[in-house]
């Protein structure tokens, strides 16, 4: 019987499907997870595991793979695969699966939520009511820019970025701009985009200097790591609001802190940080223009259920047909 190890509880559909196909399933309890490779209980479990369902917080690297002599499939419960050492997995002929497509709507919706939360100070406005600080209607209180008719720059026009562009163009009459990354996939996706989106591809200087909102939805890789660095932050205009639903590491967080401290009307809203979670005493958490969510982009019931299903199907197909259904090797966009 093949054994599957699941890093943390995920929707039950995964376990049900795997069991119905004759797999043994072990779900680690909340204080273990696949990240703790030196845990003796985990080591014992890994020694006879054929497939794992990993989370984006689990580092599946060379060190981890030393403990997995029988591993045949790694099925990542995420579309992003920056937590996986793809080269080492390939070298060991371990198949890799991920969950593209099914979390596009959920993450695009959440990005819209963050745009509104950050521009209209939703968190702080609500908090004022809870704390008894709101004394009644204030004509000049909690003012923030509208999304309607604004210029949105999207860094990372993969599935999520394109869906967001549709929402902003058709829902808010937004002007959508982007820049070309030196990345084949990005360009080929762009060429198949609905021309009604009227996406304008700009030079980096022009792109950064003329934005109301900059939205980061790119995958994390060597090319995109710390893309939003000190120099690029300087080029943004004073009122630009930055939103991140890609990965925390797309941004140089120290440079971000400096910009948030020094720039008027500049604000940042993010679902992702480095590390996750941030230490509660982190200076970013003290700033009124920093808004953060606990990595809940894909946390709609529908998306998480589909992700669990795909994770199980990737394993079933990987073990039975030596081929997963969704492999990240060709698809590198969020």
Catalytic positions are 247, 276, 295
CA angle 214, 220, 225 (to 5 degrees): 75
According to CB under 6 A, which one of 71, 95, 103, 284 is a site residue for ligand 8YV?
Answer: 103
**Contacting residue, 15, 186, 212, 271, with ligand 8YV by CB under 6 A:** 271
Strand order from edge to edge, sheet including 151-155: 200-201, 175-178, 151-155, 213-216, 241-244, 267-270, 290-292
Is position 328 an interface residue for ligand 8YV (rule: CB under 6 A)? no
Phi, psi dihedral angles at 254 (to 5 degrees): -70, -40
Span of 62-70, 78-86, 143-151, 201-209 interacting with ligand 8YV by CB under 6 A: 78-86
Residue number, 23 or 178, with CB nearest to ligand 8YV:
178
Q: Report strand pairing: 95-97 vs 151-155.
A: unpaired
Least distance from ligand 8YV to the Cβ atom of residue 57, Å: 10
Contact 242, 214 (CB under 8 A): yes
Angle between helices 122-130 and 104-119 (to 10 degrees): 70
Contact flag: residue 107 with ligand 8YV (CB under 6 A): yes
Torsional class of 142: left (φ above 0), alpha (ψ -120 to 50), beta (otherwise): left
Q: What is the per-residue binding string for ligand 8YV in 163-192, x denoting contact by CB under 6 A? A: ------------------------------
DSSP-derived letter for residue 6 is E
Closest to ligand 8YV by CB, 50 or 85: 85
Structure tokens at 127: 């908090």
Q: Is position 272 an interface residue for ligand 8YV (rule: CB under 6 A)?
A: yes
Q: In the bound complex, what is the minimum distance in angstroms from residue 208's beta carbon to ligand 8YV?
A: 22
Contacts to ligand 8YV by CB under 6 A: 56, 78-80, 103, 107, 110, 245-246, 271-272, 295, 297-298, 334
């Amino acid at each position: 019987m093949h054994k599957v190890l699941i890093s943390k509880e995920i929707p039950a559909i995964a376990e049900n499907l795997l069991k119905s196909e004759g797999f043994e399933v072990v779900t680690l309890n909340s204080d273990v997870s696949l990240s703790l490779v030196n845990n003796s209980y985990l080591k014992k479990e890994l020694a006879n595991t054929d497939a794992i369902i990993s989370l984006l917080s689990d580092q599946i690297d060379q060190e981890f793979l030393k403990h997995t002599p029988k591993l045949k499939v790694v099925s990542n419960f995420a579309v992003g695969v920056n937590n996986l050492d793809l080269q080492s997995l390939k070298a060991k002929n371990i198949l890799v699966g991920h969950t593209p497509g099914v979390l596009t709507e959920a993450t695009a919706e959440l990005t819209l939520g963050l745009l509104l939360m950050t521009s209209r100070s939703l968190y702080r406005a609500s908090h004022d009511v809870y704390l008894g600080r709101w004394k009644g209607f204030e004509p000049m209180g909690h003012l923030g820019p509208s999304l309607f008719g604004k210029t949105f720059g999207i860094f990372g026009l993969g599935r999520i970025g394109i869906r967001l562009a549709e929402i902003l163009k058709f829902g808010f009459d937004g002007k959508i701009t982007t820049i070309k990354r030196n990345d084949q996939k990005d360009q080929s996706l762009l060429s198949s985009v609905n021309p009604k989106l009227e996406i304008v591809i700009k030079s980096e200087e022009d792109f950064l200097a003329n934005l109301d909102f900059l939205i980061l939805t790119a995958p994390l890789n060597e090319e995109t790591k710390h893309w939003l660095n000190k120099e690029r932050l300087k080029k943004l205009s004073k009122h630009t609001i930055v939103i991140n639903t890609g990965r925390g590491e797309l941004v140089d967080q120290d440079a971000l802190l400096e910009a948030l401290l020094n720039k008027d009307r500049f604000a940042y809203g993010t679902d992702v940080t480095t590390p996750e979670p941030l230490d509660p005493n982190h200076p970013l958490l003290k700033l009124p223009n920093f808004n953060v969510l606990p990595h809940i982009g894909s946390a709609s019931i529908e998306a998480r259920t589909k992700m669990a299903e795909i994770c199980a199907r990737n394993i079933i197909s990987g073990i039975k047909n030596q081929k997963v259904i969704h492999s990240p090797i060709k698809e590198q966009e969020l």
